[in-house]
Structure 1
Amino acid sequence: MSTVTDPIQAALHQHNADLFASDVVGHPPQTLVEFLARHADAALAVSGADQTAWNGQIVEAGEGILGLAHWDGTLHLDRECILEPLRELYLRAGDPQSDAALIRYREALVTILHEQSHFLGPAGATQEASRVAFKQPGSRALEEGVAEAWSHANLDDYLLDLGIDDLAPGITEVTADPSYQAFVPAVLILTADLDHRAGLPPGTALHLLNRQTAEGQWPLVVDLAYTSSPLPSVVPPDLEPAIRLSLESTLREYFADLDTLEPHPRDYAAARSRTTAHQALAHLTTEIQSIHDVFAPDPTIPDRLRPTPASRHQPSTDPFHHAFAGLAPPGRPVPSSTTPSKPTRPSANAAALPTERGA
């Protein structure tokens, strides 16, 4: 009879075989096995989400993958960068640690929180619906950017919930740089703008988006922008769905372009990400004003002086825009949707298929 002697494999075997002792649930995890059993509940608690799609299983990630939230609910984690640092953290619990060691632990933990964020969702959300939505233009950029930005913003609360600040003194005093620089800067600008438009406390939109799956994220973005604008008071109810879809398509188009930035150096990708976000929001503001002018034009402004947003591409074949095209002022260019290039992963992260969620 063979025995698992590799400590990482032994911990995964004990976890996946449900051999975790339930009588230690009342205190913070003291071993890697206890952490594996408790880490998802902590993510759920910190996020405030209704549910997690994690199936409870954890496996070692394949070559070139740092972390992966698989659509079947399984969590894939890299041995060298994730599992081994966590094993070391618990073996050296309470010992003084170098900043380099603390940063290594912190990077492992933020990756786990990022992957668990992908599993979060509202009550009734399904992985199948999320998977379909994830393939739509702009969805991957938004979901990965939200997961990364939110995980870094809330990591200290996650560590406190798990008692890791006591096991690795000083871990909340060091920092780790976010990955996904093609996505994170744009997401931070977008969510800060939504908070401002809706009069919400800073960080609220990011927190709300992290509780959604890909199915609900873009509709939530549009809802925050639409309901905080003058449009609800002037747009007929039967036209509201088409207008919401038009606004969503406009934003998706810009965020789909972010995929092409992933192969570039971090600083360049971050700068272009910020520029793209500002362009998207300027276009959104102008489009909202143009729609408002259709239904409630200012009689003091001649038609020729009213703003008409410039198209970034040629006239669109996007059905979202055609559904609303008849409401636009005559001659107004209509933004088009583009088919996103097949993205590659950031060099700071390991490779994964564009249709998968991972770091």
Structure 2
Amino acid sequence: MSIPPSSYDDLMAQQHTAAVEVTGAHHSNWNGKMGPTRKVENGVILGTASWDSGVLYDDKYVTGPLKEMFEHKGVQQEQAKLLAYRNALKTVLHENSHMTSAEGTTHADAMHAFQQPPVRALEEGVTEAWSYANLDQYIDKLDLEKIAPGIKEVQGRQSYPQFAPAANALANRIGEVSGVDSNEVLRRMNVVNGAEKWPIATKLVTDAAGLDKIVPPAQLAEATQRVEQAMQAPFGTLADVSKLPADQQRPRSAEIGNEAFDAGQKEIAAIKQEVATTGGLQPKVAEVTAQTDGKKAEATAQTAGADPKLAHAMAMANSGTAPLQGVQAGAASQAAVAAKPAGPAVGRGQGLDRD
């Protein structure tokens, strides 16, 4: 028989181990440090799994209700109180799910990948969808019914309306073709860091399609990447769903989750057609264009007496297919200006906070 936490501090000391046991993750990366979430002008940040492996909780909606729950442990509370306790616990499970990762990895390994909108969308969507659906398991593991009788009888709040429905929809569709229960699909993605979630989802659909038996072994990684990128593209638009009226966000998010799955299936069909017709994957139009532009630029530069290596770097800069570094980049840029007609300058860059 399990023994429930005796206090709020005891609960916090057990939060990560219970999450590992319930999720089936290899380990938690939590370093034992806690603190309050940062304040924002609009809204509230309920919890944060920081990249330095600490967890932060909002005092009013998470820390406060949980402390109160232990102050009145064993006492039947009104529904509003139970909802507050349950919502607070869901945030705790959510943040501790962020902290889990596979063997040999940490959640912080995904810090740079998390800047990519499709990666952030799936990370938050899966984490919220799984935590919401499996909160009762977490409550049972910690034996919290003894602390707050009736806490499993109320329905709490689901966060991330722009992300969670899409993750659920994607998991449901993956489950249909793979034969894996949709909750298990979510769980498998939930226990790896953000950079590894898309590969998990992609492998499930490519295995179900039998791509490893169709695509030449040397091209299987390329085929898999094409499917992953196809599914990621719709997820890259999910952040904009939060701009819709509240009653439209969840339905639209679910639609995008289905669109992502359909995009992956369309790419799989295209890959199968390519292999059936030509025996393998064919270079994309952009790749062929880059190669052609490269040869033309090298020929132009050689005629003008330029260094062939510099000419190749210039060609790749013109085609947009490779990064340039150091002094060579600067020289190549100057050469590119001379070789190309003048046009508008284009710059790209973005960053995302993790909350």
Q: Same fold (TM over 0.5)?
A: yes
Alignment partner, residue 166 of structure 1: 146
Matches within 5 A, 1:55-134: 55-64=31-40, 65-134=45-114
Paired with 1:271 and 1:73, the residues of 2 have a C-alpha distance of 34
2:201 aligned with 1:224: no
Residues in 2 aligned to 1:152 and 1:128: alpha-carbon distance in whole angstroms: 23
**Aligned counterparts, 1:305-320, within 5 A:** none
Match of 1:284 in 2: 264
With a CA cutoff of 8 Å and minimum separation of 6, indicate the structure with the bigger relative contact order: 1
Which of 33, 38, 44 is 2:9 aligned to? 33
Instruction: Give the partner amino acid of 1:130.
Output: A
Displacement of 1:198 after TM fit?
A: 1.1
Correspondence for 2:352? 354
Residues 1:176 and 2:156 are matched in the alignment: yes
From 186, 198, 201, give the equivalent of 2:166: 186
Deviation at 1:93, TM superposition (A): 0.6
Distance 2:32 2:244 in 1: 35
| Native 8 Å contact 1:256 1:340 kept in 2 | no
Give the ranges of 4+ consecutive aligned residues of structure 1 lying more than 4 Å apart after TM superposition: 339-342
Cα 1:268–1:206, aligned 2, differ >3 Å: closer, same or farther? same
* Residues 90, 167 of structure 1: 8 Å contact kept: yes
Indicate the SS of the match to 1:185: helix
Identity %: 32
| Larger-Rg structure | 2
Where structure 1 has 5 or more consecutive residues not aligned to the other structure, the ranges are: 1-25, 299-314, 324-338, 343-352
Contact 2:8-2:70 within 8 A present in 1 as well: yes
Q: String of CA shifts for 1:14-44, please: whole Å, max 9, x gaps.
A: xxxxxxxxxxxx7320111111111111111
Count of equivalent residues:
288
Q: CA deviation at 1:129?
A: 2.0
**Whole-angstrom CA distance in 1 between matches of 2:202 and 2:348:** 21
Could you list the runs of 5+ residues in structure 2 that have no partner in the other structure? Answer: 279-283, 292-346
Q: What SS does the corresponding residue of 2:237 show, helix, strand or coil?
A: helix
Matched, 1:241 2:221: yes
Q: Distance in 2 between matches of 1:200 and 1:66?
A: 32
Superposed displacement of residue 214, structure 1 = 0.9
Q: From the superposition, tell whether residues 76 and 237 of structure 1 become closer, same or farther in structure 2 (CA, over 3 Å).
A: same
Cα separation, 2, equivalents of 1:316 and 1:260:
30
Matched, 1:252 2:232: yes
Shift of the 68–133 alpha-carbon distance from structure 1 to 2, 3 Å rule, reads: same
Distance in 1 separating the partners of 2:223 and 2:83: 46
Equivalent-residue separation in structure 2 for 1:279 and 1:273 (angstroms): 10
- 1:328 alignment counterpart: none
TM-score (norm 2): 0.76
Q: CA deviation at 1:354?
A: 2.9
- Between the aligned partners of 2:225 and 2:100, the Cα distance in structure 1 is 24
- Cα RMSD for the two superposed structures: 2.3
Task: Determine which structure has the larger helix proportion and give its number.
Answer: 2
For the structure 1 residues 316 and 114, does the alpha-carbon distance in structure 2 shift closer, same or farther, using more than 3 Å as the test? farther
